[in-house]
Structure formats: C-alpha cells, structure tokens
C-alpha cells in the first residue's frame, strides 16, 4: 500500500507524581499534562497511570462517602477539556468507578463528543503490599476502543502479569496494548517488569505501552520507568527512573495488516541505573515526597558517629538540601571521642549545623529517681536504655520546638532482631534505611562516598557499637553482620525454615537464637516509624505477623 495510507500516532505517557486523596490536585496535574502534551508535542493520546485521579493506594479513603462524587466531578471536568479538541484525541485515565453498587479499579477512555468508556481491572492483586479485593470487584471484559482508525486495548497493572489478557486483546483486534500501572519499586523490579512484558509479547505479538506511577506514598515508592516494548519484546522507549516525565512516543499504523510499529526515538535509550544508584535515588525520592506531601519544613538527624546516622544525614541533605537539615549529637560517658569528632566531620562536610548536648547531666537525676530500683543489682539493659530514652526525649523536644521531622536511623538487621530501644533510638517520624540490612548500609555508604567523600573512612571501617556500656560492640550481642544478614534474608524474605538455613552452613544454635529474636521483636516493629520499602519483602505492609502467637520455627 502507499505510504499515504499509513497513520501516524503521537502518544504521551504521563508519568506523574500524584498525591493519594488529592482528587482536585491530581485532576489539575492531568489537565495540565493534556495541555502540554497536545500543544508542545502535538499528541493525540495521553495515558495516565493506574488510579491516577485518586492516587495509589487509596485504601480506606474509598469508603468515604464524598469520594464517589469528587471522582465523578473530576471525570466530568476532564471530559469537558477533551471535548474542546477539534481533532481526534484520547485520554486514558485511572480511577475508582462505582457501577451497580460495586466499586471497580477502572480506566476511563475519554474522546471528544463521546461518553466515557470504562475498563474494569480483571486481576485484583491480594498479596504483599496489595489488598485490592478488600475494595474492588473484578471486571470480566477487555476494552477495545478505536482512536482515529487504530484499534487499541486497555489493561490495568496486574492484568499483564497473567497469561491470557494480552491474547484476548489481540483476538479482539487490538493493534497495541495500553497498560496503566501503579507498580511499587523494590530492587530488581525493573528487570522483573521487562521479563513479564517480554512474555506477554511472545504470547500476543503486540507492542505494549507500560505507564507507571511515580512518587513516594508512606512506605511505598513508585519509580516511574515507564516504557514501550515492541511486538518482539524489545524495550524501544524508556522514560526516566525516579523523575516525572511526559514521554512522547511516535508510531506508524498500517491498516492493511493491523500493525503498529514504534518509531525509534531520536536519542538513544538511557541506561538503567546500577543497583546502588537506584537504591539511593529511590530513598531520595521517598524522603522528598514524605516531607513535601506531609508539609514538613525541615528534618532532624541524631548523629551517633556511626554508619547508620552518617548515611541518613547524607541522604537527607541530598534529598532536601543542607538548609533544610539539622543535626544533633548527644554523647554520654561511654561515647568515644572519635564518635563525636566523626559526627562533627559529617555535619561539616555536608554543610549542616550541629548541636551538641552531653546527656550525662540528665542521667544522674534519672538514676536518683530510680535509686531504690537500681541499688544492689548489677547494671544491665535498664541503665543502657535510660540513655537511649533520654536522647529520644531531647530529640523530640528539639523536633517540637523547631517543627522538624525526626529521621530515625535503625537498619533492617536491627529492626529484625530488636536491637533497638523502644521509645529510644526508635523514636521519630520516618526511617530511610529501615529496609536495608547492615551490610547494605555499608555498601550504600561506600557508593555515596564515591560521589564525594562526606562519611569519614573510619566510620565505615570501625566496628559498630551502640556505645551504651563500657567497650560495647554489636558483636557482643549479635552474630557478625555478614552471617546475621544472610540468616535474616533467608528467614524474612525467602520464608526459609530453620532446617533450610542450618543446611546453608549456619550453626544451629545461632539460627535458633536469631529466629527467636525476630519473632519476639514483632511488638517493637509494630511501633516503629514508617520507612521506605526497598526489598521484595519489607517489614510493615509486606510482612504481617501476629504479635501474640505460639509458632516456633
């Protein structure tokens, strides 16, 4: 056929940073994206992410009676904007939609002078961080719509992780799949998505437009990374990771063979971020969004001179700027001089003001108040935790006085075995490294220093210590972190039985002790600050174990 019979498609994938529940604000963002995409790029299709009108996950906001009316008003507002086009234009937007007294996870297709058409998500995830069956009913029919003679199919996120949906779209006559996603980040997730998309392309032979949400939402982080794969499964377009984007894609449609060919982008594909760089970027975005979306002006970090607080301070400065980060160090009689010196060096290197408050004058009155209870007994964890809790009292006083969000600094290894003081060093509002094992904290610190040296080398090389007792080291209470982290990874993330972990080469007594500590510490974790999910199984939404239980692994 002649070249003139081919139809050019200009499609924009809207990778937007949305706020859960802010229906008016999200609608404004989408409306602005329509204007930009249509005017700047000449786009005739704009695709948004899953549940983009309300944000993901909306959770029990869906039970609020006013939400339905706000969603209907928002959709009407967008329909009016689309109706103003005097050329073919399609908007695909995610939203909750109520029909026949049921709520659906839906995608609406809006076109000029046409009533909205809806697709209802068929596969509702109910594992890990997802509990969509609590709120939504499942749809049954695929949605095929025509945009300027081009037949296109719409699916939602989890639908593509199941065989058959893509085939049904192809059998219905679709030339391409438009997939709206709210896919949370964890390490290795990009590779999993690409492998899944390759499977669907092998199954159906259709190009797929994969549009993903962006931004932090409590523990969850959406990394963007929207992409297009051609009918052979090759990634031909990739939007930015951890950054907003209106990614333009051009394609050519041939009606003769119902094929949509993706035109190669003018610029080469950006290379995917390496593992440590991706983790670092994820934490920066998560903190920035938690601070901004919850309207905090600044953050406060308590520096111990150790690796965890040093990395947390560097992350905070890189996310927010030094002018919005403040530090305090609270030495006791057991704090080594080098710890105070390293805290000063870290703050100086990052341009952060540091307040020093020695806690010893506050410890003596506490001992006096408890003299009858402490007398005649050897010092133990009681005296140690008095120090940690006095520090928490002072940190929270500074937080109240200056309206600063306290960033806690406990890593996943410590949270797992309860090597942290409830109402002490666990006290605070958000934790950047909660889902990083101690060994991962070291790797990320080394990565940060490769960008510019802000963490003193001896902080990385010296043996870790809580410094709550004379000559104390973490190894006094815990196995070496290399062993501990692997035992924890197997038990927590792989759900391995004790026998399996022992068979991997670890001493039975060590395994039994570590697993018992994990189970006993559930009550502490339940009261810990939220922290960004970085692994395939994080504490909190991912791992929901009972506090009161009789199972012993």
55-72: buried (b, 16+ CB within 10 Å) or exposed (e) per residue?
Answer: bbbbeebbeeeebeebbe
Which is nearest to 454 in space by CA: 302, 331, 352? 352
**Buried b vs exposed e over 228-237: b needs ≥16 C-beta within 10 Å?**
bbbbebebbb
Taking Cα atoms as reference points, which of 513, 509, 511 lies closest to residue 486? 511
Note if 157 is an active site residue: yes
Instruction: Name 110's bridge partners.
Output: 91
Residue of 50, 158, 219, 384 marked active site: 50
- Is 189 an active-site residue? no
Distances (CA, A) of 376 to 333, 364, 372, 384, 395: 22, 17, 9, 17, 32
Helix, strand, coil shares of the chain, percent, nearest 5, are 40, 20, 40
8 A C-beta contact, residue 41 and residue 34: no
Asked if 512 contacts 415 with a C-beta cutoff of 8 angstroms, the reply is no
Omega into 545 within 30° of 0, i.e. cis? Answer: no
Strand partners, 301: 327, 407
CB atoms inside a 10 Å sphere around CB 351: 12
Nearest Cα to Cα of residue 437 among 389, 492, 508: 492
| Chain position carrying tokens 């610190």 | 445
Partners of 329 in beta bridges: 356
| Run of H or E residues at 146 | strand 143-147
Q: What does the angle CA 254 – CA 255 – CA 258 come to, to the nearest 5 degrees?
A: 80
**Three-class SS state of 498:** helix
- C-alpha–C-alpha distance, residues 459 and 455, integer Å: 7
Question: Which one from 48, 157, 201, 427 is the annotated catalytic residue?
Answer: 157
Query: Per-residue DSSP letters for 367-424?
Result: HHHTHHHHTTS---HHHHHHHHHHHHHHHHHHHHHHTEEEEE---HHHHHHT-S-TTT
Q: Does the annotation mark 323 as catalytic?
A: no
> Please, what is the angle between helix 307-320 and helix 438-451, to 10°?
50
Choice among 59, 72, 103, 121 that is catalytic: 121
Rg (CA), the chain: 26
Cβ atoms of 13 and 179 within 8 Å: the answer is no
Token pair recorded at residue 430:
């958000």
Q: CA 57, CA 94: separation in Å to the nearest integer? A: 12
**Tokens 């037949």 sit on residue:** 151
- Record the tokens describing residue 218, joined without a space: 């409590």
Residues whose CB falls within 8 Å of the CB of residue 130, separated by 6 or more in sequence, listed in order: 57, 158
Place of tokens 């996603």: 181
| Catalytic (active-site) positions | 50, 121, 157
């Amino acid at each position: 056929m002649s070249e003139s019979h081919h139809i050019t498609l200009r499609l924009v994938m809207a990778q937007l940073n949305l706020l859960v529940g802010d229906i008016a604000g999200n609608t404004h963002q989408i409306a602005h994206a329509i204007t930009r995409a249509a005017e700047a790029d000449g786009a005739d299709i704009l695709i948004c992410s899953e549940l983009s009108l309300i944000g993901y996950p909306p959770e029990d906001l869906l039970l609020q009676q006013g939400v339905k009316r706000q969603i209907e008003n928002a959709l009407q507002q967008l329909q009016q904007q689309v109706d103003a086009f005097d050329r073919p234009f399609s908007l695909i937007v995610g939203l909750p939609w109520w029909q026949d007294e049921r709520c659906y996870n839906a995608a609406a297709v809006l076109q000029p002078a046409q009533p909205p058409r809806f697709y209802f998500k068929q596969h509702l995830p109910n594992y890990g961080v997802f509990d969509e069956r609590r709120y939504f009913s499942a749809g049954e029919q695929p949605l095929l719509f025509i945009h300027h003679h081009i037949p296109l199919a719409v699916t939602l996120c989890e639908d593509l992780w199941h065989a058959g949906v893509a085939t049904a779209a192809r059998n219905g006559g679709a030339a391409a799949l438009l997939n709206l996603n709210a896919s949370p980040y964890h390490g290795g997730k990009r590779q999993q998505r690409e492998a899944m998309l390759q499977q669907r392309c092998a199954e159906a032979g259709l190009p797929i437009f994969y549009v993903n949400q962006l931004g932090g939402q409590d523990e969850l982080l959406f990394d963007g990374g929207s992409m297009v794969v051609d009918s052979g499964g090759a990634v031909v377009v990739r939007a930015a990771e951890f950054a907003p984007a209106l990614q333009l894609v051009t394609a050519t449609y041939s009606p003769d063979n119902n094929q949509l060919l993706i035109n190669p982008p003018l610029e080469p594909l950006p290379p995917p971020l390496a593992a440590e760089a991706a983790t670092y970027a994820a934490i920066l975005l998560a903190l920035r969004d938690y601070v901004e979306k919850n309207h905090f002006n600044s953050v406060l970090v308590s520096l111990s001179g150790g690796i965890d607080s040093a990395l947390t301070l560097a992350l905070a400065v890189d996310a927010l700027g030094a002018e919005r980060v403040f530090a305090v160090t609270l030495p006791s009689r057991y704090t080594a001089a080098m710890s105070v010196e390293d805290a000063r060096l870290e703050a100086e290197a990052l341009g952060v003001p540091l307040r020093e408050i020695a806690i010893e004058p506050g410890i003596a009155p506490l001992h006096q108040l408890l003299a009858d209870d402490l007398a005649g007994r050897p010092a133990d964890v009681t005296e140690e935790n008095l120090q940690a809790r006095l520090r928490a009292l002072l940190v929270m006083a500074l937080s109240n006085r200056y309206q600063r969000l306290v960033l806690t600094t406990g890593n996943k290894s410590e949270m797992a075995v309860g090597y942290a003081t409830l109402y002490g060093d666990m006290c605070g509002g958000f934790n950047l490294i909660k889902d990083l094992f101690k060994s991962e904290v070291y790797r990320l610190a080394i990565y940060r220093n490769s960008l510019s040296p802000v963490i003193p080398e001896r902080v990385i090389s010296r043996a870790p210590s809580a410094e709550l007792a004379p000559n104390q080291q973490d190894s006094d209470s815990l196995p070496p972190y290399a062993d501990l982290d692997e035992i924890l990874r197997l038990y927590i993330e792989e759900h391995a039985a004790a026998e399996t972990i022992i068979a991997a080469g670890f001493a039975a007594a060590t395994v039994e002790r570590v697993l018992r500590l994990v189970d006993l510490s559930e009550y502490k974790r339940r009261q810990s600050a939220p922290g960004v999910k970085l692994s395939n199984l994080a504490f909190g939404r991912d791992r929901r174990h009972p506090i009161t239980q009789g199972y012993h692994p």
